[in-house]
Amino acid sequence: MAKAVLGDVRLHFDELNKLRILDPEVAQQTIELKEECKAFVDKIAEFQKIVGNLIELVDQLAKAAENEKMKAIGARNLLKSIAKQREAQQQQLQALITEKKMQLERYRVEYETLCKIEADQNEFIDQFIFQK
Amino acid sequence: MRLKTSLLKEPKHKELVSCVGWTTADELYSCSDDHHIMKWNLLTSETTQVVKLPDDIYPIDLHWFPKTIGGKKQSQAESFVLTSSDGKFHLITKTGRVEKSIEAHCGAVLAGRWNYEGTALVTVGEDGQIKIWSKSGMLRSTLAQQGTPVYSVAWGPDSEKVLYSSGKQLIIKPLQPNAKVLQWKAHDGVILKLDWNSVNDLILSAGEDCKYKVWDSYGRLLYSSQPHDYPITSVAWAPDGELFAVGSFHTLRLCDKTGWSYALEKPNTGSIFNIAWSIDGTQIAGACGNGHVIFAHVVEQRWEWKNFEITLTKRRTMEVRNVINDAVDLLEFRDRVIKASLNYGHLVVSTSLQCYVFSTKNWNTPLIFDLKEGTVSLILQAERHFLLTDGGGIYLYSYEGRLISSPKFPGMRTDILNAQTVSLSNDTLAIKDKTDEKVIYLFEAMSGKPLGDGKPLTHKTEITEIALDQKGLTNERKIAFIDKNRDLYITSVKRFGKEQKVIKIGTMAHTLAWNDTSNILCGLQDTRFSVWYYPNTVYVDKDLLPKTLYEKDASEFSKNPQIVCFVGNQVTIRRADGSLILLNISPYPAILHEYVSSSKWEDAVRLCRFVKDQTMWACLAAMAVANKDMTTAEIAYASIGDIDKVQYINSIKELPSKESRMAHILLFSGNVQDAEMLLLQAGLTYQAIQININLYNWDRALELAVKHKTHVDTVLGYRQKFLEDFGKKETNKRFLQYAEGLEVDWDKIKAKIEMEIAKERERAAATPAVRASVTVQH
Q: What is the pTM of this model?
A: 0.83
Closest chain B C-alpha to A83 CA, distance in angstroms = 18
ipTM, 2 dp: 0.82
How far is the C-alpha of B367 from the C-alpha of B348, rounded, in Å?
Answer: 10
How far is the C-alpha of B677 from the C-alpha of A98, rounded, in Å?
Answer: 68
Check pLDDT > 90 for residue A38.
yes
Nearest to A92 among B266, B577, B579 (CB): B266
Q: Classify burial at B21, counting beta carbons within 10 Å of its beta carbon; exposed 0-12, middle 13-18, buried 19 or more.
A: buried
Q: Which residues pair with B69 in a beta bridge?
A: B72
Chain B residues lying within 8 Å of A124, measured CB to CB = 587
Q: In what order do the strands lie in the sheet with B2-6?
A: B2-6, B293-299, B283-288, B272-277
Radius of gyration of chain A (CA): 53
How far is the C-alpha of B452 from the C-alpha of B474, rounded, in Å?
Answer: 12
Q: Which of A109, A130, A132 should be substituted to probe chain B, the one whose Cβ sees the most B Cβ atoms within 10 Å?
A: A109
- The DSSP code sequence of B65-122 is PPSEETTEE-SS--EEEEEETTSEEEEEETT--EEEEEE--SS-EEEEEE-TTSSEEE
Decide: B91 and B104 in contact? Cβ < 8 Å: no
Give the pLDDT confidence score for residue B723 in this predicted structure: 86
What CA–CA distances, in Å, run from B535 to B144, B547, B614? 50, 11, 16
Q: How many CB pairs under 8 A join A and B?
A: 45
Q: Which residues pair with B439 in a beta bridge?
A: B458
Chain A residues lying within 8 Å of B578, measured CB to CB = 102, 106
Tell me, yes or no, if B584 comes closer than 8 A to chain A by beta carbon.
yes
Tell me, yes or no, if B266 comes closer than 8 A to chain A by beta carbon.
yes
Give the pLDDT confidence score for residue B777 in this predicted structure: 38
Q: What are phi and psi of B524, to 5 degrees?
A: -110, 120
**Burial code of B140-179, b = ≥16 C-beta within 10 A, e = fewer?**
eeebbebeebbbbbbbbbbbebbbbbbbbebbbbbbeeee
Q: Sorting pLDDT into bands at 50, 70 and 90, what band is A132? A: low
Give the pLDDT confidence score for residue B480 in this predicted structure: 93
Tell me, yes or no, if B581 comes closer than 8 A to chain A by beta carbon.
yes
How far is the C-alpha of B191 from the C-alpha of B543, rounded, in Å?
Answer: 53
How far is the C-alpha of B182 from the C-alpha of B165, rounded, in Å?
Answer: 12
User: Mapped to the 3 state alphabet, what secondary structure does B590-623 carry?
Assistant: HHHHHHHHCCCHHHHHHHHHHHCCHHHHHHHHHH
Nearest-10 Cα torsion for B226, B229, B230, B233: -40
Interface of A with B (CB under 8 A): 91-92, 95-96, 99, 102, 105-110, 113-114, 117, 120-121, 124, 131
Chain B residues lying within 8 Å of A127, measured CB to CB = none
Tell me, yes or no, if B546 comes closer than 8 A to chain A by beta carbon.
no
Chain B residues lying within 8 Å of A109, measured CB to CB = 575, 579-581
How far is the C-alpha of A94 from the C-alpha of A65, rounded, in Å?
Answer: 42
How far is the C-alpha of B96 from the C-alpha of B114, rounded, in Å?
Answer: 19
How far is the C-alpha of B210 from the C-alpha of B110, rounded, in Å?
Answer: 20
B388: left (phi over 0), alpha (psi -120 to 50) or beta: beta
Give me the count of residues in chain A: 132
Chain A residues lying within 8 Å of B583, measured CB to CB = 113, 117
Q: Which of B230, B253, B579 should be substituted to probe chain A, the one whose Cβ sees the most A Cβ atoms within 10 Å?
A: B579
- Provide the 8-state DSSP code for B360: T
With DSSP H G I counted as helix, E B as strand and the rest as coil, what are the percentages for chain B, rounded to 5? 20, 40, 40
Q: What are phi and psi of B304, to 5 degrees?
A: -130, 140
Closest chain B C-alpha to A60 CA, distance in angstroms = 37
CB atoms B584 and A120 under 8 Å:
yes
Give the pLDDT confidence score for residue B496 in this predicted structure: 61
Please choose, from the candidates B168, B64, B152, B164, the residue with its C-alpha nearest in 3D space to the C-alpha of residue B110.
B152
CB atoms B582 and A114 under 8 Å:
yes
Nearest to A99 among B261, B575, B581 (CB): B261
Decide: B379 and B366 in contact? Cβ < 8 Å: no
- Provide the 8-state DSSP code for B682: T
Q: Residue B745: CB partners within 8 Å, gap ≥ 6? A: B713
Chain A residues lying within 8 Å of B263, measured CB to CB = 99
Residues of chain B with pLDDT under 70: 68-77, 374, 495-500, 766-778
Give me the count of residues in chain B: 778
Please choose, from the candidates B262, B326, B327, the residue with its C-alpha nearest in 3D space to the C-alpha of residue B296.
B262
Give the pLDDT confidence score for residue B71 in this predicted structure: 46
How far is the C-alpha of B398 from the C-alpha of B388, rounded, in Å?
Answer: 11
How far is the C-alpha of B558 from the C-alpha of B16, rounded, in Å?
Answer: 42
Chain A residues lying within 8 Å of B582, measured CB to CB = 110, 113-114, 117
Q: Percent of chain A having pLDDT more than 90?
A: 61
Dihedral (CA of B410, B415, B419, B425) sign: positive
Q: Which of B3, B246, B264, B571 should be substituted to probe chain A, the one whose Cβ sees the most A Cβ atoms within 10 Å?
A: B264
CB atoms B578 and A106 under 8 Å:
yes
How far is the C-alpha of B584 from the C-alpha of B118, rounded, in Å?
Answer: 49
What CA–CA distances, in Å, run from B431 to A73, B230, B342, B486, B656? 71, 43, 21, 19, 47
Chain B residues lying within 8 Å of A99, measured CB to CB = 261, 263-264
